[in-house]
A and B are shown apart, each in its own frame.
Chain A
Amino acid sequence: MGLHAFFVFDAFTEFFSALTALFVAYYSLKAYKILDDSRMISLNLGFSVLGVGMLIHGAVKVRIALAVLSGVAVPPARRLPLVRLGYTIAFATELAAYALIFLSTMRRPPSTEAALVPPLVTPLIEYDFRSEGLLAALALLIAIKAGISYAQGDSRLAGLVSLGFALLAAAHLLLVFGGPLKLVAADVTRLLGFACLLWMVIRVSRVRA
Chain B
Amino acid sequence: MTARQRYRSKMRICYDMLRVIQEEGGEAGPTRILYGANLSYERLKRYLAELIEKGLIEEVERDGKRIYRLTDSGRMFIIHFRKMTEFAKAFGMIL
- Please list the residues of chain A having a beta carbon within 8 angstroms of any beta carbon in chain B: 27-28, 30-31, 34-37, 39-40, 43, 101, 104-105, 107, 142, 145-146, 148-149, 154-155, 157-158, 160-161, 200-201, 203-205, 207-209
Residues facing A in B48-95 (CB within 8 A) are 75, 77-95
Majority DSSP secondary structure for residues of B touching A? helix
Q: Does B46 contact A (CB under 8 A)?
A: no
Given contacts A35-B81, A36-B9, A36-B11, contact A207 B93 (CB under 8 A): no
Majority DSSP secondary structure for residues of A touching B? helix
Residue of B nearest to A159 (CB): B90
- Please list the residues of chain B having a beta carbon within 8 angstroms of any beta carbon in chain A: 4, 9-12, 22, 75, 77-95
Q: Which of A34, A146, A148, A201 contacts B11 (CB 8 A)?
A: A34
Residue of A nearest to B10 (CB): A36
B22 neighbours in A (Cβ, 8 Å) = 209
CB distance from A142 to the nearest CB of B (A): 8
Given contacts A204-B83, A209-B78, contact A37 B92 (CB under 8 A): no
Cβ contact within 8 Å between A35 and B85? yes
CB distance from B58 to the nearest CB of A (A): 19
- What is the CA–CA distance of A40 and B84 in the complex, to the nearest angstrom? 10
CB distance from A138 to the nearest CB of B (A): 14
Taking A104-B93, A145-B92, A158-B90 as given, write out 15 further A-B residue pairs in contact, using a Cβ cutoff of 8 Å, ordered by the A residue number. A34-B80, A35-B11, A35-B12, A35-B81, A36-B11, A37-B9, A37-B95, A39-B88, A40-B88, A145-B91, A149-B91, A157-B90, A160-B90, A208-B82, A209-B22
The 7 closest A-B pairs by CB, nearest first: A149-B92, A155-B89, A157-B90, A31-B84, A145-B92, A36-B11, A207-B83
